[in-house]
Amino acid sequence: MKKIYRKTSIFSFVGGSIAAIYAIVFYFVWFKGFSVNGESLIVSGVSAISLLIAGLFFNNAQQNLRDETMAEIESDVHFENIDELILQWMPSFYPTMHNVNAAGISLFQILPTKRRPFARKLTAVKILSEGFILPATYDILDMKEELLASFTMWNNGNRFLLTLHSRDGKRIGYFEQWLTKSVLKNRGTLFHENDRVWRELRSNNMAGDIDVLDDKRKMTAKYRFGRFPYALHPAFEAEGVHNYIRFGSHISNEEKLAYTMIFFFWLKK
């Protein structure tokens, strides 16, 4: 979380500085009076102040946290030992998510693949980052940036298709979601690589809370927005809401990867 807060602080300071410079230039060059074009000056001024305050806030938050040790950064990811994840967006020009544990330590990350430089640049545009027109490929990497798995996202305007691959390129399964059936609540179907239905996923409410059950009615995954058991932990006190996943103890590593892919897609929307 320290790295996430540090980068959030930097982005806030840069954004606030740009807004402040714009407000100053606007005042001396284009400002004609508050009744004429004062709204632009007020908006840019308030934005500058808000972003600079946010920068100070997150800078203070990251200073109160310890640096991650090299052992934590270089440790291998063992999905069989991962029972829960807190999903955190990393400020970036590209969609980037860190998956952290209850202590606020980043375990692995999701970001557009660097193996396709041109396609990676396209993900800076929101609609293209969802695979519209051209499929968007994302890598699941550990904190040493070694490949754990990858998935491809494709949007044909009415159907979203997410295909999960292992690190050696073998297809693990895919998730299909129809836009017409998920306007208010996320819902879709996860399939095995042989097209056999793996899990049916459907949100409990518009906030996206979900409980995924297997054929024996045992919980395989649970997602909650806002309701979070570690809200008072120093690593998470700086944020008001959290995205929290808990996995069933009996599911495979591949199924955990599939849920991670799906929730990345849902939260990105």
Look at the block and give the residue holding tokens 């952290």. Answer: 100
Q: Under CATH, which architecture does the 72-268 domain have?
A: Beta Barrel (2.40)
The fraction of the chain above a pLDDT of 90, given in percent, is 65
110 within 8 A of 137, measured Cβ to Cβ? no
Q: How confident is the model at residue 89 (pLDDT cuts 50, 70, 90)?
A: very high
Residue pLDDT, tens place only, 196-210: 999 999 887 766 688
Mean pLDDT, range 24-48, rounded to an integer: 89
Q: Which two tokens stand for residue 255?
A: 């199924």
The secondary structure of 92-148 as a DSSP string is SSS--EEEE-TTS-EEEEEEE-SSSHHHHHHTTSHHHHTTBSS-EEEEEEETT--EE
The pLDDT assigned to 206 comes to 67
Q: Between these two residues, 241 and 175, which has the higher pLDDT value? A: 175
pLDDT at 247 over 90: yes
In total, the chain counts a number of residues equal to 269
The secondary structure of 80-100 as a DSSP string is GG--EEEEEEPPSSS--EEEE
Enter the pTM of the model: 0.89
Q: Which two tokens stand for residue 269?
A: 């929307």
pLDDT at 74 over 90: no
The pLDDT assigned to 182 comes to 75
Q: How confident is the model at residue 242 (pLDDT cuts 50, 70, 90)?
A: confident
Residue pLDDT, tens place only, 94-151: 999 999 998 889 999 999 999 999 999 999 999 999 999 889 999 999 999 999 999 9
Between 2-11, 196-205, 215-224, 234-243, the lowest mean confidence (pLDDT) is in 234-243
Q: How far apart are CA 245 and CA 24, in angstroms?
A: 45
The pLDDT assigned to 10 comes to 95
Q: Strand pairing partners for 202?
A: 187
Residue pLDDT, tens place only, 154-212: 998 889 999 999 999 999 999 999 987 776 678 899 999 999 999 999 887 766 688 89
pLDDT at 68 over 80: no
